[in-house]
Structure 1
Amino acid sequence: MGERATEASEQQRPASNGAIRRFLRTLGPGFIAGASDDDPSGIGTYSQAGAQFGFGIGWTMLVTYPLMSAIQQICARIGRTTGHGIAGNLCRHYPAWLLYLVVALLFTANTINIGADLSAMADALKLLIGGPSTLYVVAFGSICAFASVYIDYDRYVAVLKWLTLSLFSYVAALFAVNIPWGEAVASLFVPKIIWSAEFFTTVVAIFGTTISPYLFFWQASQEAEDERVNHSNHPLVDAPKEAPAELKRIRADTLIGMAFSTVIALAIIVTTAATLNRAGVTNIESSAQAAEALRPIAGNFAFAVFALGIVGTGLLAVPVLAGAAAYAVGEAFKWPVGLARKPKHAKAFYSALVMACVLGMGILFTPINPIKALYWSAVINGVVAVPVMAVMMLMTAKERVMGRFTISGWLRWLGWAATAAMAASVIGMVLTWFG
């Protein structure tokens, strides 16, 4: 009897291990995009939102989840359907001025974002162990650039997936503090809107850090990259039989990735609302400042895991930011692009990637305040996202771009809803500035 039970358990174990492996293989560009969405800039934005507006700002995350899920699915389908990223399709089907405008806006926003993230990572490490912030900025930027250029593609993607585990530090911080769960949950379903410049700027920053242009370019280009690397896959416009399985995978990958991103963002908002906001600390300008402010209120454990999370998620987000910028520039100029290529076969592409990291590091040596850049990079992303999203929605309706796989139905409605919501929040912010 015991032998049969042992045999049965041994048969079940490989089956369960196989299911886990299949699930992990499903997690690809969408999951990495969702995790990198909670970069140090995003952490700073969510911390400021929770500290300034308390639980009442949490409803924005329920609004952004379906919108970001839809727009990221659309991006992924552009890459997998056409075999090219967003800039690659703009280059082939749209005027040059539009292509260069979009790429220039993206590269500028990403460079500022990289600089802000590196600064936040350095400040967080300084809080933990002391030392010079400048040295940490250069070290983190160099590590991210070196890893992107010289680590084998499969290993590089695996490293990015493992780095997503660092985000669970914010879940740990959530359970390390006293949360009035009834109030926190109720605030998710009862929107609280304040007509003020601060509120609408924060909303734009939240939208800009959850629905962010660099994620659009990254996921689309990574889908095209994966299709090039896997020789059994082809662009869906050329191999429509592959579509059912691939579109199902993209949907699962993106929904899981964006759900992961939303849970972590909510954990940060709720943690800072329950601690900083309740203690009257309402002006948080950076993620590192939020970690430091948590120490006397929530204790050393909450402080440490919050700070460690900033470093971990920065190591994930900076390569994605630099990679997205390099893909956009490379596709715009029709260079050989792709992290799977050897450096000697894609010198211009990797040069653009390294340049984005170097310029990001260089922000530390300019008059630009890196703490203010951290928050405003999210606002800039929100503003830049509007024209990029509009162009994407128009692109995915054209058969000459998408073939028989044009975007329609509920996904198209949600994509336009995301574009409209982003535009409305930007307009609201501008009106309050002059109101």
Structure 2
Amino acid sequence: MDTAIPEPEQQPTRPKLLAALGPGLITGASDDDPSGIATYSQVGAQFGYGLTWTLLLSYPLMSAIQEISARIGRVTGYGIAGNLRRHYPRWLSTSVVSLLMLANVINLGADLGAMGAALKLLISGPVLLYVCLFGLLSIALEVFTRYARYVSVLKWLCLSLFAYVICAFVVKVPWQVVGWATIWPPLSTKPDYIVAIVAVMGTTISPYLFFWQAEQEVDDQRERRGAHPLTHAPWQAKAEFSRIRIDTYLGMALSNVIAFFIVVTTAATLHAHGITNIQTSAQAAEALRAVAGPFTFGIFAAGIIGTGMLTVPVLAGSAAYAVGELLSWRVGLARLPLRAKAFYGVIATATLIGVGLNFTAIDPVKALYWSAVLNGIVAVPVMGVMMHLSMRASIMRGFTLPLLLRVLGWLATAMMAATVVAMAVTVFA
């Protein structure tokens, strides 16, 4: 039976902005991974400014679902997989975690391949060697770096995203046309258009982000002195929910603003010059060299590497958290490697499998784009389970979702389901 922690005489005050930024900021920034950059580049090259509206639409929905993820972790002291194991049938938790693992490993392979290709564009050399080096560097940082230092490194890597803002202001962009296309888009029912919407939604609303942010809240609570799961210390709720909301909504805003600038940059350059078939982020960078100059190319390519170094650990970490909680292991980046050997073993294994995919006959071009589509499909059952879980009083105690989050959460789930059904109908009909 849970025992509440005695309420202290002085309750915590709301944190300052910089102190509040953490799990939500890193989650939002990692959303713009090389796979996402490829998706946004393809969307901009193929449809011009015709799909910028999707980033405006997805913002409140992705923010709500990420806030719900964070609340689950902070309230219960367990991540999503841990709550599934404790409160739902084994077949359900195993199915969800298996789908997550499949999507994450494909994403890891695609992202590592994109990083290797981007570095080759900048300095030439063997792509596969760079893929191996990036994979090993990511494993070393995640396993052997102290948690507080590692989180600080991830926060600084968020700055690499601003490379894409710089690109948009280096090239000539008709901002009035962009604004009009965003608020009054040229909608279409063509299969390519529907698949592109699913890919964008699957990139912005991704299952690995749900698991990562919930678990980072758990790790953060374990590391902060005096912090406890809200089911044990309900007096901390007001300050914690305020911090989560600030952190999450700013992190998701960063994610979508950067994605918007990537679409705008590629639309203003590649689409405007008749280049409409971009299937990898490295290919987008290479194409920019010809139409926008070496400066824009260099910034774009360097951004791919920076965002990859931010995202690869998140993908591997979210997989390890999910598997570890499902199997009742000790999990957490705050734990020493020898205290959580199986957890860190999954991180290393998932990353190495991602590296290995680049040595197979699997087409990395198709893997890169379709990993985003797969994320969109996997997100639907995960989101449905999360919504049900977060409204159960027996799990969340007095912290079930308020009405607005319920509405936005179910709306996001329904939207993801509708886009996946629409894709299936248009592609397989």
Q: TM-score range with shorter-chain normalisation?
A: over 0.9
Residues 167, 264 of structure 1: 8 Å contact kept: yes
Matched, 1:426 2:403: no
| Match for residue 213 of structure 2 among 211, 214, 219 | 219
Instruction: Please state how far the C-alpha of 1:434 moved relative to its aligned partner.
Output: 2.6
Q: Aligned to 1:267, what secondary structure does the other structure show?
A: helix
TM (norm. structure 2) is 0.96
Taking the TM superposition and a 5 Å limit, the aligned residue runs for 1:396-411 are: 396-411=390-405
Q: Which has the higher helix share?
A: 1
**1:134-157 CA deviation, whole Å, 9 max, x = no partner?**
000000000001100000000000
Identity over the aligned pairs, expressed in percent?
A: 59
Amino acid at match of 1:61: L
Aligned residue number for residue 155 of structure 1: 149
The one-character-per-residue Cα deviations of 1:86-139 (angstroms, maximum 9, x if unpaired) are 000001000000011000100110010000000000000000100000000000
Contact 2:128 2:359 in 1 (8 A): no
**Paired position in structure 1 for 2:375:** 381
Aligned residue for 1:340? Answer: 334
Q: Which amino acid aligns with 1:191?
A: P
Match of 2:6 in 1: none
Counterpart of 2:189 in structure 1 is 195
What residue is the counterpart of 1:349 in the other structure?
Answer: 343
The question of whether the paired residues in 2 share the 8 Å contact of 1:397 and 1:408 is answered with no
Find the aligned partners of 1:408 and 1:62 in 2 and give their Cα distance.
23
Tell me the secondary structure at the aligned position of residue 339 of structure 1. Answer: coil
- Aligned runs of 1:224-373 on 2, under 5 Å? 224-373=218-367
Using the TM superposition, give the Cα deviation of residue 217 of structure 1 relative to its aligned residue in structure 2, in angstroms.
0.1
Matched, 1:178 2:172: yes
**What is the CA-CA distance between 1:408 and the residue it aligns to?**
2.7
Q: TM-score, normalised by structure 1?
A: 0.95
Asked if structure 2 preserves the Cα contact closer than 8 Å seen for 1:173 and 1:302, the reply is yes
Residue 141 (str. 1) matches residue 132 (str. 2):
no
* Alpha-carbon distance between aligned partners in 1 of 2:40 and 2:27, rounded to the nearest angstrom: 17
Output the CA distance in 1 between the equivalents of 2:185 and 2:171.
24
Where does structure 2 lack aligned partners over 5 or more consecutive residues?
1-14
Deviating above 6 A after TM superposition, structure 1's stretches of 4 or more consecutive aligned residues are none
Q: Which amino acid aligns with 1:316?
A: L
| 2:396 paired with 1:416 | no
Q: Which runs of 5+ in 1 are unaligned?
A: 1-20
Corresponding position of 2:22: 28
Shift of 1:360: 0.5
Q: Which moved more, 1:190-199 or 1:128-137?
A: 190-199
For 2:342 and 2:52, the matched residues in 1 are separated by 43
How many residues in Structure 1 have an aligned counterpart in Structure 2?
A: 415
Q: Distance in 2 between matches of 1:307 and 1:384?
A: 29
Deviations 1:334-385 (A, max 9, x none): 1000000000000000001111101100101222111211111100000000
Mapped partners of 2:389, 2:190: distance in 1: 35
The letter of the residue matching 1:379 is V
Partner of 1:210: 204
Distance 1:298 1:185 in 2: 22
> Separation in 2 of the partners of 1:177 and 1:331?
47
- Say if 1:114 and 1:318, in contact at 8 Å, map to a contact too: yes
Whether 1:100 and 2:94 are equivalent positions in the alignment is yes
Q: What secondary structure does 1:56 align onto?
A: coil
